[in-house]
């Protein structure tokens, strides 16, 4: 792997979180290829009023997660990102900047042959083997995204290179733990 790719690897991980008592908040963590934090942004908790709950109805949670939390976090980043990995499938609907958003999740599936091997599940979903030692991860793209072509290959290449050094979905767990600390006011 060239030094230039290592230096430029900026993997973004985003999470929208809801706490029954504290409201909604979110965070984006940008890491290098080893998973070390380069930038971290989070929102203060948002507690919708009773009027907002009535006016937005069932759409309130999606509105807060996508249009308020994710949009404000992406706009606050100091540098552009080339891909955003999320845990929540709702965040695939974000339409702000033209950023590929990928739902990244671990699986208990048997490992595929080797790093880089993938198994298509749907036109916008696949299993990807990121290292020899781990189970494949599941990648779900926006509904209109096709798992082919240069944009797709660039995302896969970044994930595989990062998989040489880290568990690629582990930063999402770190964000979750951090947001729990924020909610508990232990920071």
Q: What percent of the chain has pLDDT over 70?
A: 94
154 or 183, greater pLDDT: 154
User: Does residue 27 contact residue 175 with C-beta atoms inside 8 Å?
Assistant: yes
Read off the pLDDT band of 180 (50, 70, 90): confident
Read off the pLDDT band of 9 (50, 70, 90): low
Judged against a pLDDT cut of 60, whether residue 29 lies above it is answered with yes
CATH topology of domain 3-182: archaeoglobus fulgidus dsm 4304 fold (3.30.2170)
- Burial code (b: 16+ CB inside 10 Å, e: under 16) for 133-150 equals ebbbbbbbbeeebebeee
Q: Which residue, 97, 96, 91, 74, is CA-closest to 105?
A: 91
Alpha-carbon gap, residue 147 to 68, rounded angstroms: 29
Query: pLDDT (tens digit, 9 = 90+) per residue, 46-99?
Result: 999 999 999 999 999 999 999 999 999 999 988 888 789 999 999 999 987 778
């Amino acid at each position: 792997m060239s030094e230039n790719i290592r230096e430029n690897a900026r993997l973004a991980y985003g999470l929208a979180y809801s706490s029954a008592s504290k409201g909604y908040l979110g965070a984006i963590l940008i890491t290098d290829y080893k998973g070390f934090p380069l930038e971290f942004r989070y929102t203060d908790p948002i507690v919708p009023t009773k009027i907002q709950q009535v006016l937005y109805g069932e759409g309130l949670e999606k509105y807060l997660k996508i249009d308020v939390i994710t949009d404000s976090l992406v706009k606050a980043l100091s540098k552009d990102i080339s891909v955003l990995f999320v845990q929540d499938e709702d965040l695939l609907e974000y339409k702000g900047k033209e950023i590929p958003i990928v739902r990244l999740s671990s699986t208990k599936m048997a490992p595929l042959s080797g790093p880089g091997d993938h198994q298509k599940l749907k036109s916008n979903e696949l299993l990807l083997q990121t290292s020899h030692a781990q189970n494949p991860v599941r990648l779900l793209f926006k509904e209109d995204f096709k798992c082919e072509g240069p944009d797709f290959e660039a995302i896969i290449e970044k994930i595989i290179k990062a998989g040489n050094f880290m568990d690629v979905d582990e930063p999402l767990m770190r964000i979750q733990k951090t947001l729990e600390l924020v909610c508990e006011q232990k920071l």
